[in-house]
């Protein structure tokens, strides 16, 4: 059933019209910005999105707003109730598990290939990512840390020349990424991420594919192991 509360709209910290790039279609930009706000939990599950107010925020007509919301619906990130409201969806545990399976399957093969290639230039670049993550962890900047975490994994795909597969993973990861974002502030979680990344990089540097796979498998399994705790802390955020 649709929500009964009064519809309200998100207010970006920076006026949305200042963030639209000329020369690019508007609907994909609105989609990207709203998706990022949903993933970062700036728009939490249950937030009601008012189309008219979104039009005003972005300075756009109804068509690109509608198209962006339909794309978000396709990804399962919003629920659209015709003639009533659009609501940020709860985190779907089934979709989160599927995204985890996809990412784990791909990245196990990627780190294996990278360890076999044993490229010192790649190791140096990955160590640069680790230094950035360490600094952000110490600053407790979880939003920037989360982006740096994604950048680390994206670079693994790029190094393996699997860029398109990273795009596939990102398009399917909205629900697992929200779970991870909820889990990230837990004491010790960011430290675990950095430690796992260091172990993966060391295994790649040492040319040990089995170790790289084992560390990656352990790394990616962390959040789903804590679903019950996350659900208890954020009631109503997770379904399934």
User: What is the model's pLDDT at position 46?
Assistant: 95
Q: What percent of the chain has pLDDT over 90?
A: 85
Q: Residues with Cβ < 8 Å from 196, sequence gap 6 or more?
A: 215, 216, 218, 219, 222
Instruction: Yes or no: say if 115 and 208 are a contact pair by the CB < 8 Å rule.
Output: yes
User: What is the model's pLDDT at position 214?
Assistant: 97
Q: Which of 64-73, 125-134, 189-198, 223-232 has the lowest mean pLDDT?
A: 223-232
pLDDT over threshold 70, residue 4: no
pLDDT over threshold 80, residue 12: no
User: What is the model's pLDDT at position 18?
Assistant: 56
Measured between alpha carbons, how far is 64 from 144 in angstroms, rounded to an integer?
29
Average confidence (pLDDT) over 7-24: 54
> pTM of the full predicted structure?
0.85
pLDDT category at 83 given cuts 50, 70, 90 is confident
pLDDT digits (tens, 9 = 90+) for 152-191: 999 999 999 999 999 999 999 999 999 999 999 999 999 9
Domains of the chain: 16-89 (1.10.10.10), 92-239 (1.20.120.530)
* Nearest CA-CA partner of 112 in 212, 198, 192: 212
Q: What per-residue string of b and e applies to 211-223 under the rule 16 or more CB within 10 Å gives b?
A: bbbbbbeebbeeb
User: What is the model's pLDDT at position 84?
Assistant: 80
User: What is the model's pLDDT at position 36?
Assistant: 93
Average confidence (pLDDT) over 197-204: 98
User: What is the model's pLDDT at position 240?
Assistant: 83
More confident residue, 82 or 61: 61
């Amino acid at each position: 059933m649709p929500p009964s509360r009064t519809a309200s709209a998100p207010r970006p910290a920076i006026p949305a019209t200042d963030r639209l790039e000329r020369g690019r279609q508007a609907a994909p930009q609105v989609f990207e910005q709203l998706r990022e706000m949903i993933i970062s939990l700036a728009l939490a599950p249950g937030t009601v999105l008012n189309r008219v107010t979104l039009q005003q925020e972005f300075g756009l007509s109804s068509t690109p707003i509608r198209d962006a919301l339909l794309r978000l619906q396709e990804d399962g990130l919003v629920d659209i109730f015709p003639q009533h409201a659009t609501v940020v969806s709860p985190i779907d545990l089934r979709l989160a598990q599927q995204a985890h399976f996809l990412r784990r399957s791909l990245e196990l093969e990627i780190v294996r290939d990278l360890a076999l290639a044993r490229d010192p230039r790649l190791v140096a670049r990955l160590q640069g990512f680790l230094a950035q993550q360490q600094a952000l962890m110490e600053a407790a900047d979880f939003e920037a840390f989360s982006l740096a975490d994604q950048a680390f994994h994206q670079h693994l795909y790029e190094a393996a020349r699997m860029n398109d597969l990273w795009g596939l993973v990102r398009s399917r990861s909205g629900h697992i990424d929200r779970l991870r974002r909820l889990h990230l502030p837990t004491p010790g979680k960011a430290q675990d991420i950095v430690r796992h990344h260091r172990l993966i990089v060391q295994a790649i540097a040492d040319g040990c594919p089995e170790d790289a796979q084992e560390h990656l498998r352990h790394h990616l399994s962390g959040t789903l192991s804590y679903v019950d705790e996350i659900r208890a802390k954020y009631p109503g955020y997770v379904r399934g």
